[in-house]
Amino acid sequence: MVARYVIPELQGFIKPLRDSGSFVIDNREVFERAGQAVMAKIMQNDKAAAALQHTGPAASRSPRSTRRTCGMEAAKVKSKALRRARPRARRAASLDHVVGAGEQRGVEQ
């Protein structure tokens, strides 16, 4: 836990992440206007507007559902990163499970 949370904080790696998050929160209306401009441009093109019917408009989501979606995406990214970062730990855990199962089979026989 120290290596994951404390050391990056002491080395200053966390501050830019926090600053970026604060910037996005403070300037949310700018990003919403940009999204509206993109949607307006899509609606000007007939083929793009027709394709939008199949995919669904992201701009019509409420800010609450967008935040929820962003949170789910962040969780997926974090989960994927953890899977990549800890292959040895997962292998060791799976081997412990196999060894434990083998011991149980030996007891049952």
For the chain of 109 residues, list the mean pLDDT of each consecutive stretch of 10: 91 94 94 94 91 71 52 66 61 53 48
Split into its structural domains, the chain has a count of 1
Residue 96's domain comprises 2-108
Q: CB atoms < 10 A from the CB of 81, how many? A: 10
| Angle of the 87-108 helix axis to the 63-85 helix axis, nearest 10 | 70
Q: Break the chain down into helix, strand, coil percent, rounded to 5.
A: 90, 0, 10
pLDDT score, position 10: 92
